[in-house]
Amino acid sequence: MAPHCAASSAAGQTGAAEETQPGAADELRALLIGASDVLSEYVAQSQQPQARVLGGRSVQQMRADLRLDEFPDKGAGADGIWDDVRAVCGAAANTWSSRFLYKLYAAPAPAGVVGEALLGVLNNNSHVFRASPAGTLIESSVAAKLAELAGFPAQTEGLTFPGGSYANMHALVTARNCALPDARRRGLHVPGGRAPVVLTSRHAHYSVDKAAMAAGLGLEGVAHVPTDGHGRMDARALRRMLQRAVDGGLAPVMVNATMGTTVLGACDPLDAIAAVCEDFGVWLHVDASWGGPLALFGGDPPAAPAFAVPRGRIDSMTINPHKLLGVPLQCSFLLVRRGLGTMRQALGLNAGYLFHDDADASELDLGDATLGCGRRPDAIKLWLMWRYYGTAYFVRRVAHARRMALRLAELVRTRTSPAGRWRLVQEPPSTCVCFWFVPRQLAGGSSDEDERWGLATRRICERVNASGTALVDYASVDLPRPGPSGAPEMRRVPDFFRIPLNSPDVAEDALVAVLDAIELAASGLTF
């Protein structure tokens, strides 16, 4: 293979461009053909039943394998790139294994990878329309389609962000600036002004707290609403807390509800919450980063009936197609009922050098509706997958994840073991399954309050992951438990295994393998 052409073209004598230009196309073709070999081989190996999910080498060894101290003056070109690519693959987490059950995303859909290559080649930037006409139109069109599927009114618009946290942050800052019009110009340090507060469930994603902290509300500017025993926000408590905030002179700027909580996968009671928000005139944001696809592509009969958007009653919603829909990271949408004009008014600066009022297309410029500037046209990946696989693929994908979650719960519920006791935290409300494996030594007590259950979870998890057999995770949440007086108090339960189901490649054999691995890992431990 010819040495890297672009590097020589960069030698860039004046006038040399004409000769070297064809080089880039040839170089790109050769590189993508090489990538088709190396990357498909990696995928095939990674999907083997015996493939490790995590390499098991030390950090030191990985550094050496990657030769991280080598930043060569002269590049190795085509002779070296595949060794480097293979080294990266070798030190990556294997999302292609059906025993990768670690996080809310999984192996990407192959057509989504074509989308990444396409984005890379185009290098278009969807901050202004002209810098990315196709990307802008596709983004707006996909956002409108998602809004339609979620039952939003017609004027709803949306756009992508580099992840659900940033989408949530934009919802919060927009809501803050709408509720406190002085905040945009004068900031929050206004003598005599009302202190802003955000209300969210204790089980909501931490990005709401981070966004509030970043936005000058402080961590104390977040009021955490208790949940019921299934991890769903208590709408009556929300009403009481909102009333208390208003009575106390605070300014509630947003309520964040969650469709698919991070740990349990629960869906807050959105109708009841919407009614409260309407009574108080507060912006209702729904973080449906994880669970949104269950509402939009839930099928008929719906895979998870509780996952439904109250039509026209929510102000904004985050949904991450890079999670349950298999789009490669990153692809995250924020839908805004009042349209992007509201975001532009709240966040825009109309920077003269970039956004030109006189251009006919300025209404199509998406960037000024954000706190950022340059923007990847990530929507193209979802669009391409949609046209390649069809809506039915997303529906099947969601249904499969839900079916596997129910199956895993059944396996846990019915499994018996001489080594200990399996116990579900609760029936899975969507596609996260949470359970303990309680080693025999600890299984005598009937209370799930035994902190040693959490210790067991952590130690078993560590061993499973170190073995490379599977990559799984644990978590904990606060749940209402009878307090000393008998009245329920929110108390932290011991750490449990939390298994998100997602990939269409995960079948029962993988679930059994993971439970076997947990039992095996536990067998060598003493408490």
Nearest distance from residue 350's CB to a second copy, in Å?
Answer: 9
Comparison of 257 and 471: residue with beta carbon closer to a second copy: 471
**Contact between 242 and 233 (Cβ < 8 Å):** no
Nearest distance from residue 487's CB to a second copy, in Å?
Answer: 25
Nearest distance from residue 271's CB to a second copy, in Å?
Answer: 27
Nearest distance from residue 418's CB to a second copy, in Å?
Answer: 27
Comparison of 72 and 486: residue with beta carbon closer to a second copy: 72
**Hey, what are 478's tokens?**
């606060």
Closest CA to 284 of 325, 243, 345, 242: 242
Comparison of 89 and 275: residue with beta carbon closer to a second copy: 89
Supply the Cα-derived Rg of the chain in whole angstroms. 25
**Dihedral angle over CA of 92, 98, 102, 107, nearest 10:** 60
Q: How many other β-carbons are positioned within 10 Å of the β-carbon of residue 82?
A: 16
Nearest distance from residue 240's CB to a second copy, in Å?
Answer: 23
**Strand partners for 439:** 420
Nearest distance from residue 306's CB to a second copy, in Å?
Answer: 21
Environment class of 158 (CB within 10 Å of its CB; exposed 0-12, middle 13-18, buried 19+): buried
Comparison of 88 and 278: residue with beta carbon closer to a second copy: 88
Dihedral (CA of 183, 188, 194, 200) sign: positive
Q: Give per-residue burial for 97-123: e unless 16+ CB within 10 Å, then b.
A: bbbbbbebbbbbbbbbbebbebbeeee
Comparison of 34 and 151: residue with beta carbon closer to a second copy: 34
String of DSSP letters for 431-475: SEEEEEEEEGGG-SS--TT-HHHHHHHHHHHHHHHHHTS-EEEEE
- According to DSSP, the β-strands at 316-319 and 332-336 are antiparallel
Q: Please state, in angstroms and as integers, the Cα–Cα distance from residue 273 to each residue in 96, 221, 222, 428, following that order.
A: 38, 20, 17, 22
String of DSSP letters for 204-246: S-THHHHHHHHTTS-GGGEEEE-B-TTS-B-HHHHHHHHHHHH
